[in-house]
Amino acid sequence: MSEDRLSRVFAALADPTRRDIVARLAVGDATVSQLAAPYNVSIQAVSKHLKVLEDAGLVSRSQDAQRRPRHLEAEVFDMMTAWIERYRRQAEERYRRLDAVLAAMDDDSEPTTNKGATS
Amino acid sequence: MSTNARQEAETRETTIEADPNLPIIRIIRDFDAPREKVFRAWIEPELVAQWLGPKSSEMRIDEWNARTGGNYRYAAVKNGEEVAAFYGSFHEVRPNERLVQTFTWEGMPDGVSLETMTFEDLGDGRTRTIGLSLVENLEARDAIMASGMDVGVNEGYEKLDALLAHN
């Protein structure tokens, strides 16, 4: 995947509505009106979001001229590694806060287990 | 004793494993604190509030009854407005060893995952936590991974973009 392409993909996914659309297309193809249903926005607004996703290559439309259901390109999952890294970093950030909490905690309820030699 | 500690310190960064064939995510992390203390930070709501959630300062705990059969609910709050809320039950709270919870994001009320946290005593006052999330299918798992981009996307993704561009 080229750098440009990747930038477009990330830009497309930077919007929460579009991420939601992607998550829902991951479950199965859907038409524009199906995709618009849960949102408080017009069909046109959803079409705009879909256009961005299509330009990024994340979503395509099938040949069914009547309904034109949108389809999530399997290639999006090639980005799993990126997602995993992002997810991992989030967990790491959370756990760094926990490090700080642990460091600041009083040892008020000393455990009764072996306190051992703390060298 | 100290060589051990040094080796472990090197593996302290969070590790994530996402099995390509199973709908699970495993998150492993070591802490420089005894197991009892780490466990307390998981079950006492005033401690949990300081680190769990997308951002500690924007986290609101509504319920945190960490006992077997108890329940919880917490929300991410931005400018006084609830942006995401999560709830579930404590299926099992086994002191200092194991915490089993269900987990649902209210934005996707039909989705529920099973979260099992295991606390391992590494000795020398250190603890390893292993978090296992089991979701309904691979698609749901991948969507959860993708939602990891929800937080701090603007400050984070440019850097990630650059990083990936070089690989």
pLDDT band at A107; cut points 50, 70, 90: low
Is A82 in Cβ contact with B142 (below 8 Å)?
Answer: no
> Taking CA atoms, what residue in A is nearest to B84?
A16
pLDDT band at B158; cut points 50, 70, 90: very low
Q: How far apart are CA B149 and CA A13, in angstroms?
A: 8
Is A85 in Cβ contact with B34 (below 8 Å)?
Answer: no
Q: How far apart are CA B33 and CA B40, in angstroms?
A: 11
pLDDT, position B116:
97
Choose among B131, B97, B142: nearest CA to B27: B131
pLDDT, position B9:
43
Please classify residue B155 by burial: count the beta carbons closer than 10 Å to its beta carbon, then call 0-12 exposed, 13-18 middle and 19+ buried.
Answer: exposed
Q: How far is B70 from chain A (nearest CA, A)?
A: 22
Structure tokens at B67: 């006992």
pLDDT, position B155:
36
Which phi and psi (to 5°) does residue A35 adopt?
-70, -35
For chain A, which residues lie within 8 Å of any Cβ of chain B, measuring from their own Cβ?
3, 6-7, 10, 13-14, 16, 19, 22-23, 26-27, 77, 80, 82-92, 94-95, 97-103, 105, 107, 109, 111, 113, 118-119
- Minimum mean pLDDT range among A40-54, B42-56, B135-149: B135-149
- Mean pLDDT value across residues A108-115: 46
pLDDT digits (tens, 9 = 90+) for B72-87: 999 988 888 888 889 9
- Minimum mean pLDDT range among A75-79, A109-113, B3-7, B102-106: B3-7
H-assigned helices in chain B: 2-10, 35-43, 45-48, 138-147, 153-165
pLDDT band at B70; cut points 50, 70, 90: very high
Instruction: Quote the number of domains for chain B.
Output: 1
Residue B64 has pLDDT above 90, yes or no: yes
Is B164 in Cβ contact with A105 (below 8 Å)?
Answer: no
Is A26 in Cβ contact with B50 (below 8 Å)?
Answer: no
pLDDT band at A58; cut points 50, 70, 90: confident
Q: How far apart are CA A9 and CA A79, in angstroms?
A: 9
Give the domain CATH number at B113. 3.30.530.20
Q: How far apart are CA A58 and CA A75, in angstroms?
A: 7
- Computed over every residue of chain A, the mean pLDDT equals 76
Q: How large a percentage of chain B has pLDDT more than 90?
A: 44
Q: What is the pTM of this model?
A: 0.59
Q: How far is A63 from chain B (nearest CA, A)?
A: 24
Residue A1 has pLDDT above 80, yes or no: no
pLDDT, position B102:
97
> Taking CA atoms, what residue in B is nearest to A77?
B142
Question: Which has the higher per-residue pLDDT, B30 or A4?
Answer: B30
Query: What is the domain extent for residue B82?
Result: 2-165
pLDDT, position A40:
79
Which residues are paired to A72 by β-bridges? A59
Residue A119 has pLDDT above 90, yes or no: no
Choose among B23, B35, B29, B27: nearest CA to B9: B29
Question: Which DSSP symbol is given to A30?
Answer: B
Q: Please identify which residue in the block is written with the tokens 């999560």.
A: B86
* CATH, domain A3-73, list 1.10.3720.10, 3.40.1410.10, 1.20.140.10, 1.10.10.10: 1.10.10.10
Q: Are B89 and B66 in contact (CB under 8 A)?
A: no
